[in-house]
Every structure is written in structure tokens, then in C-alpha cells.
Amino acid sequence: MEGGEAVRLVKELAETAEELGRISPKVGGQFNVFLRHAFEEGALSAKVKRLIALAAGIVRGCDWCIATHVKKAIEAGATKDEIIEACFMAIVMGGGPALAYTKVAMDAMKGLS
């Protein structure tokens, strides 16, 4: 994945969420509100929440999620080493397929840093 690919994935996911929010404010809009609040600082920092979401995205095999959470983790102050450790945790839980999707995260780090 080129850096432009990571940027494209992040943009597509954001546009899809925005469009669903416009189409259905009761469902799509409320889901977007939920997401915004879920990632706010709380008992866990926003950075830790993004790293957890990144690991979950890797285990689920979602390129859009991986690219978005790498971007948001970097914006929240995550280091390359922290992102790699989150990838390792995904591999612990997701095995070989998670190892393969870790490439998406590594490419996104390169393209979004």
C-alpha cells in the first residue's frame, strides 16, 4: 500500500460515515456521535483507545479501520514503537491473518507519518 492508499482509505471511511449520518441522522448520525464520545479521554487515554481499535481492526481485517486508527493514533501521540506493539497484540489474538494485516498498518504508518 502506498501512502496515498492509506490517505484514500481514511478519506473513504470518513466520507461514508458522514454520508450515513446525513441519510439517517437517527441511526448513522447517532453512531457517529457514539464513536466521537467513545474515543474521548476517559479512564483510558485517547491514544490507548486508538491503539486498541487498531489491534481490533487488524484482527477483523478491515483496511479502512487500520488506516484510520493508525492516523488517529499518530495524531493522539502514538509512537512507531507503540503502534508496532499494538500490531503484536493483534497477532497474538488473530494469528497469521493478523500478521498479514499488520502490513496494512505498517504501510499506513509510512504513508501517514
Query: Which pLDDT tens digits describe the chain residue by residue (113 residues)?
Result: 556 899 999 999 999 999 999 999 999 999 999 999 999 999 999 999 999 999 999 999 999 999 999 999 999 999 999 999 999 999 999 999 999 999 999 999 998 87
Q: Global pTM?
A: 0.92
| Fold (topology level) of 3-112 | AhpD-like (1.20.1290)
Sorted by sequence, the CB contacts under 8 Å of residue 45 that are 6+ apart come out as 76
| C-alpha dist (Å) from residue 62 to 16, 24, 42, 56, 98 | 14, 23, 26, 9, 10
Domain ranges of the chain: 3-112
